[in-house]
Structure 1
């Protein structure tokens, strides 16, 4: 064996290139994660300066989700007309404007408005990045590539929690938002160097460019030619969206499943913990600096556990990981409710509360966090794919907004313990929904999943 052969066995340039593209595209998740983490740390200090009511404070958090809902609705059209790459560039630019606006906010209403702007960028990117990644990835790496988006989101949350800790010693909530604009600038620059989606290029009749990019990404002329033919065959069916929804019951099933999956992801309660971790820890009698440090530790666990999903999604499959994740989250929320009910006046019970939150975040990060995006990208038929993904993403943000805006009022009405008992019950119910309706799509081509869906196969039997 030659030296060149040995080098190739240790370093595959093609795989490295795909990995690099995936990481850059997934920086959209980093951008979203930093927004989630930053607002969590900024809330207390913002409240001290502007004295918002409970509902106004809820809307400071939830305004981002309202903007994200708008962004997700427009994302399908934008990604189709100008391409996945340019849509991601647009998202990065708008995010910088929103983050800078939040940093210079002069009132509660101005903060809410700029949070909507940030949200638009997040919603646009949350739709486009997984779509782009699914079209760049090969079949055997699709799950891991799409999961990379969620991984970067958790990295962003952790980095933001560290920044919150740094700025909290001076109560500098404006500095937290200036910090949030940095990854968007990095993302903007990185996306400029990404290739266009081969799928989009074929859609626009630019077949030579698509073939050249696929040859570069697959390093196998035969595989690239087959993929081009598969894309052409898929695109022979016109994107129909709402008209297909009206007349085809099988498409209605996939859209409904996408809605249910995204609602499950948000109703599990992860963003309650991410947005309101300091508030939850305050209920456990932690002081201000202990709250931000414990929140940072929770963010670290959330990030590390996502590596489990990226590593196992294409080995174990989607459903086994979801079963484990929802079971862990149900038990963790039940345990936290029990601790809150006891009052947690002793240090041992306080540390147990932090441990339980870490376990909850780990359960979500290894399962529902990334896998719902994977499944939603896999189950939609090509003729309604943009529409189906847009509805799924819209549902995610609307459910996120509903959960975020209602959490503080629920805490006031039911008490902390009652609210977390409710989350425990919901996560337990999601185990049943996963068994009844979620398909196992590991190792299945998108074309095969579509064929089985449109022939009327039960949702749970679409895959293996």
Structure 2
């Protein structure tokens, strides 16, 4: 075999391994999306079956986020000691157990416990999959690969809405929740064949294994050796987690930045639409379950297709422009949606009003899908220094789920307190504030290595300049 044939074969093997890594991590994203989306259609039937108050309905939704916060908090230790691969494996097993438990729950107490367990699995997946992808991908495709993960999250939401719509005619909420067990088993099988992250291997002193994995993922042996040298260089300074956070001001700055980014993502209010879409469309004038579920499905499809914008934009236009555009779009969408709901509350029963509400909801979700949904996860996986990446991503991911739990557990209460219009106008104010924060503080990290970002950070550069 000549050199050209050897190079071609090596390139094909690299592409196959990269594809397999992407698909396996994406299945974790699919499960993440399924669990987010499935509760929207199931909640009305669960509420009728168990005769739930608004407060208990909020807990059915937010119990998953409580579990996710616990999973994300504990997964820092798990990922550091066992590696990204085995963290994903544990997440897959918990997904399967939680899905079956939710479907078979005889009372609301056991349903809440199963939802918390599912949340732990989601917390592990939401932490580990983007981190794993960021450490396996080269800097030129890193944003695209993590955006593909986000695309699978949105596909999971769409599939959950489709499944909910199909089972809504019979009201079979147990099957709505139980179908998650099938992709969970697929994830368990795929993870068994995944390699460990080369950065994690190098951190554990297993350099020969790290180089072997890099050779599978990079176009040439020279590129693999060069990247391993960069990883070794960044590992020379003895650092670590909580002690480094206390000792190093630059680490504190970037950990708090990651936490701020995740809080911003959640307080846009967009996940509210995912969790309570049928309820929102009922307020907007859709009276039948079929109408509400079809409108919900349209929103899910918008989420999925708008994610393609992020995939093609995030490594070209950059992370920061995507965030600014997205927050502007969400500000407009939530403002007009609030106005539509205000008109409906006042008795303006125009036949166009429900469809304008759907259009504004689609606009909100499109803005979120092309910006904060994928970009925040990309940035949080890129900005943390290598030796405290587990700690930093643990803090930011836990913040995401705590904020997520807050919005899930307060939406119906806010509706009662300040009305539908006031609730969405509150999210408008937050999105406008996030535009200002992005311009002032958020860095641009496209087309630079993780090691370069770390060097800039540790030199004390302003946060907005660490990717320059």
Deviation string, structure 1 residues 366-413 (Cα, Å, up to 9, x no partner) = 000000011111111122211110000000000000011001100111
For 1:325, the equivalent position in structure 2 comes to: 326
For 2:421, the equivalent position in structure 1 comes to: 417
Query: Which secondary structure state, in structure 1, belongs to the residue aligned with residue 180 of structure 2?
Result: helix
CA distance in 2 between counterparts of 1:278 and 1:397 reads 22
CA distance in 1 between counterparts of 2:299 and 2:258 reads 28
For 1:136, the equivalent position in structure 2 comes to: 136
CA distance in 1 between counterparts of 2:452 and 2:278 reads 46
Q: CA deviation at 1:8?
A: 5.7
CA distance in 1 between counterparts of 2:81 and 2:17 reads 26
For 1:377, the equivalent position in structure 2 comes to: 381
Q: CA deviation at 1:219?
A: 2.9
Q: What TM-score, normalized to structure 1?
A: 0.96
Contact 2:95 2:180 in 1 (8 A): no
- Structure 2, unaligned stretches of length 5 or more? none
CA distance in 1 between counterparts of 2:415 and 2:323 reads 28
CA distance in 1 between counterparts of 2:236 and 2:77 reads 19
Asked whether 1:455 is paired with 2:456, we answer: no
CA distance in 2 between counterparts of 1:144 and 1:94 reads 28
Q: Structure 1 segments of 4 or more deviating over 3 A?
A: none
Query: Which secondary structure state, in structure 2, belongs to the residue aligned with residue 433 of structure 1?
Result: helix
Find 1:362's aligned residue among 356, 362, 366: 366
Asked whether 1:340 is paired with 2:344, we answer: no
User: 1:142-291 to 2 correspondence within 5 Å?
Assistant: 142-286=142-286, 287-291=288-292
CA distance in 2 between counterparts of 1:347 and 1:27 reads 41
Contact 1:284 1:345 in 2 (8 A): no
CA distance in 1 between counterparts of 2:415 and 2:449 reads 45
Deviation string, structure 1 residues 423-459 (Cα, Å, up to 9, x no partner) = 1111111100000000011112111111111111111
CA distance in 2 between counterparts of 1:149 and 1:391 reads 21
Deviation string, structure 1 residues 268-319 (Cα, Å, up to 9, x no partner) = 0111000000010010121211111110111011011111111111100011
Contact 2:231 2:451 in 1 (8 A): no
Contact 2:320 2:444 in 1 (8 A): yes
Deviation string, structure 1 residues 56-103 (Cα, Å, up to 9, x no partner) = 110110000111111001111111111111110100001110111110
Query: Which secondary structure state, in structure 2, belongs to the residue aligned with residue 347 of structure 1?
Result: coil
CA distance in 2 between counterparts of 1:360 and 1:16 reads 36
Asked whether 1:315 is paired with 2:316, we answer: yes
For 1:27, the equivalent position in structure 2 comes to: 27
Deviation string, structure 1 residues 21-66 (Cα, Å, up to 9, x no partner) = 1121121111111011111110000011101111111011000011
Q: CA deviation at 1:110?
A: 1.2
CA distance in 2 between counterparts of 1:245 and 1:209 reads 29
CA distance in 1 between counterparts of 2:383 and 2:433 reads 22
Contact 1:67 1:116 in 2 (8 A): yes
For 2:403, the equivalent position in structure 1 comes to: 399
CA distance in 2 between counterparts of 1:238 and 1:160 reads 45
Find 1:388's aligned residue among 384, 387, 392: 392
93-102 or 206-215, larger mean C-alpha shift? 206-215
Query: Which secondary structure state, in structure 1, belongs to the residue aligned with residue 237 of structure 2?
Result: coil
What CA RMSD, in Å, does the superposition of the two structures yield over aligned residues? 1.6
Contact 2:330 2:428 in 1 (8 A): yes
For 2:121, the equivalent position in structure 1 comes to: 121
Q: CA deviation at 1:462?
A: 1.3
Contact 1:302 1:361 in 2 (8 A): yes
Contact 1:40 1:278 in 2 (8 A): yes
Query: Which secondary structure state, in structure 2, belongs to the residue aligned with residue 315 of structure 1?
Result: coil
Q: What TM-score, normalized to structure 2?
A: 0.95
CA distance in 2 between counterparts of 1:384 and 1:201 reads 15
Deviation string, structure 1 residues 315-374 (Cα, Å, up to 9, x no partner) = 000111111100000000001011111116222111111111111111000000000011
For 1:68, the equivalent position in structure 2 comes to: 68
User: 1:39-78 to 2 correspondence within 5 Å?
Assistant: 39-78=39-78
Q: CA deviation at 1:12?
A: 4.7
